């Protein structure tokens, strides 16, 4: 048994629970920082740049997918060239579209799962 502090005092946890928490945390951190791990393994982009991108936009679904695609392909020259060729209006529309998609996905996940949680509590 382990004594673990929480917000209301301390409670006992068995070894299986502690191992589960440690393994779960390790898996989640690995998934969150997968673009950085890919950059370290494939070496098509600098891992420090991938880490910074991962920290700044990797917390969104679209940012994480973009970071992992960039780390895996390393093809940022074509992306930069195509983005620069767009007019300012199209750049703004592209960014707004990405923000809208991210907000819609996040809103769906939050409200969908909160409705399930409410049903379970009542």
Same domain for 12 and 65?
yes
Q: Are residue 37 and residue 81 in the same domain, yes or no?
A: no
Could you tell me if 46 and 100 lie in one domain?
no
Predicted pLDDT of residue 53:
85
88 and 55 share one domain? no
Tell whether 71 and 82 lie within a shared domain.
no
Q: Same domain, yes or no, for 43 and 89?
A: no
Longest dimension (CA), the chain: 63
- In angstroms, the CA 64 to CA 33 distance is 9
Same domain, 92 and 104: yes
Total domain count for the chain? Answer: 2
pLDDT at residue 48, as a whole number? 86
**Mean pLDDT in each 10-residue stretch from start to end of the chain (122 residues)?**
61 74 87 88 83 83 84 72 79 76 70 58 51
Residue 1: predicted pLDDT: 59
Domain match, 8 and 68 both: yes
What is the rounded CA–CA span in Å between residue 34 and residue 67? 9
In the prediction, which pLDDT does 40 show?
Answer: 86
Same domain, yes or no: 5 and 55: yes
Report the chain's mean pLDDT, rounded to a whole number. 76
For residues 83 and 71, state if they share a domain.
no
d(CA 24, CA 18): 10
What is the structure's pLDDT at 84? 78
Locate 62 and state its tokens.
Answer: 């679209």
Q: Which domain holds residue 89?
A: 77-121
Q: How confident is the model at residue 78, as a pLDDT?
A: 66
Instruction: Give per-residue pLDDT as tens, 6-41.
Output: 666 566 667 777 788 888 888 888 888 888 888 888
Same domain membership, residue 63 and residue 13: yes
20, 59: one domain: yes
């Amino acid at each position: 048994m382990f004594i673990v502090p929480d917000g209301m005092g301390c409670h006992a946890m068995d070894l299986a629970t502690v191992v589960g928490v440690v393994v779960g945390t390790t898996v989640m951190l690995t998934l969150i920082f997968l673009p950085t791990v890919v950059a370290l393994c494939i070496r098509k982009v600098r891992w420090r740049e991938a880490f910074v991108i991962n920290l700044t936009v990797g917390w969104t679904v679209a940012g994480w997918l973009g970071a992992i695609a960039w780390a895996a392909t390393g093809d940022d020259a074509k992306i930069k060239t195509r983005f620069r060729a767009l007019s300012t209006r199209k750049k703004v529309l592209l960014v707004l579209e990405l923000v809208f998609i991210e907000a819609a996905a996040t809103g769906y996940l939050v409200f969908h799962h909160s409705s399930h949680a409410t049903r379970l509590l009542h």
